[in-house]
Amino acid sequence: MKIDEAFGIHEQALRLRAARSEVIAANLANADTPGFKARDVDFAAVLRQELPSPVRLAATQPGHIGNDNGLVAGSQLLYRNPTQPSVDGNTVDAVQEQVAFSQNAMQYQASLRFLEGRIRSLLTAIKGD
- Rounded to whole angstroms, the Cα distance separating 46 from 77 reads 9
Q: Least distance from C-beta 128 to other proteins, angstroms?
A: 18
Give me the phi and psi of 48, to 5 degrees please.
-65, -40
Instruction: Give strand pairing partners of 78.
Output: 40
Q: Does 105 engage in binding with other proteins (CB under 8 A)?
A: yes
Residues near 43 by Cβ (< 8 Å), separated by ≥ 6? 16, 20
Q: Does 28 engage in binding with other proteins (CB under 8 A)?
A: yes
Q: Does 94 engage in binding with other proteins (CB under 8 A)?
A: yes
Q: Least distance from C-beta 53 to other proteins, angstroms?
A: 21
- Rounded to whole angstroms, the Cα distance separating 49 from 71 reads 9
Among 1, 62, 84, 127, binds other proteins (CB under 8 A): 62
Q: Does 32 engage in binding with other proteins (CB under 8 A)?
A: yes
Angle between helices 10-29 and 43-50 (to 10 degrees): 140
Binding site for other proteins (CB under 8 A): 14-15, 18-19, 21-34, 36, 39, 62, 65-66, 68-69, 72-74, 77, 94, 97-98, 101-102, 105, 108-109, 112, 115-116, 119
